[in-house]
Amino acid sequence: MARPPVLSVALPSDTGRVLSIQSHTVQVFSLGLLWVCYSGCDNGYVGNKSAVFPLQLLGFDVDPINSVQFSNHTGYPTFRGQVLNGSQLWDLIEGLAENDLLHYTHLLTGYIGSVSFLTTVLQVVDKLRSVNPDLVYVCDPVLGDEGKLYVPQDLISVYQQKVVPVATMLTPNQFEVELLTGLRITCEEDGLKACNTLHSAGPRKVVITSALIEDKLLLIGSHKKAKEQPPEQFKIEIPKIPAYFTGTGDLTTALLLGWSNKYPDNLERAAELAVSSLQALLRRTVEDYKRAGFDPSTSSLEIRLIQSQDEIRSPQITCKAVKYS
């Protein structure tokens, strides 16, 4: 009997096929209920489980590889689980290659905790581009936030020297872009200069996903469409919500990937849709915690991802981009 075809390859999505390499946790907290999926499909909505579902809603076939698999995210008092090493990652890639399953339109990477694993990711980029030279590599360089480093110091130079040059789109936060460029971001002009520095190293699209400048929370985007032309640059002021959420960085990058695929020459539009979608989801999250009798300002909140499908699939633009001249 003939083996049936893999339909995601034989009949690929019109949108694309994504290989997503990020962290993964098993536990999900939803207004007092604990949901556990033994196949590893649910988590506290960080890493892959903050990214995969939105990308699927936006039309992608997504294959997740979990760089770590923890019982819950590290914001809890304790956690347990496993960390995938570089050789184990390569073993998975070789298995896909042996079955002719390596044709991806996009590669998405998030949290990576070791130099050896990150080095293997670079081999994965080369391998995937040998199959599809037009592969779009979207890299969220998860290094830290608000002055705190989440990863070993030696990962910074690997990102600077080897990862940034091969990325198509880079989505650092303010702290991460400072680490990658060596520039201090204290004003909008600093942010634009940092984007230009990263463009000169490789990526055509750079989005500083959050930067606190003069008491304003901004997204700063930059798209260099041609080498001989200056980049098109813009900002979006992000409404502040008085709460702390987990998984928003992973979700933001996934939304930017999804919408920039739909609007490949209009990063402003993609960012407006991504930010507006995220804001609607966060407002729903806060409202739901309040309805459950919980003060959202007292603890880190798990985002209401599943309940926000409409806001992900068809967001109303509430956050507008302003172009820099």
Catalytic residues: 250
Question: What are 292's strand-pairing partners?
Answer: none
Question: Residues with Cβ < 8 Å from 283, sequence gap 6 or more?
Answer: 241
Residue 316's φ and ψ, nearest 5 degrees, are -90, 130
CA angle centred on 251, ends 250 and 257, rounded to 5°: 95
Residue 30 belongs to what H/E stretch? strand 28-30
Phi and psi at 261, nearest 5°, equal -70, -35
Q: Which among 61, 41, 81 is positioned nearest to 306, based on CA atoms?
A: 41
In the chain, which ranges are continuous DSSP H helix? Answer: 7-10, 48-57, 86-98, 115-131, 155-158, 174-181, 188-201, 248-262, 267-291, 309-313
Type and span of the H or E element at 317? none
Name the β-bridge partners of 169.
Answer: 138, 205
Tokens representing residue 85 in the block: 């090493």
240 burial type by CB count under 10 A (0-12 exposed, 13-18 middle, 19+ buried): exposed
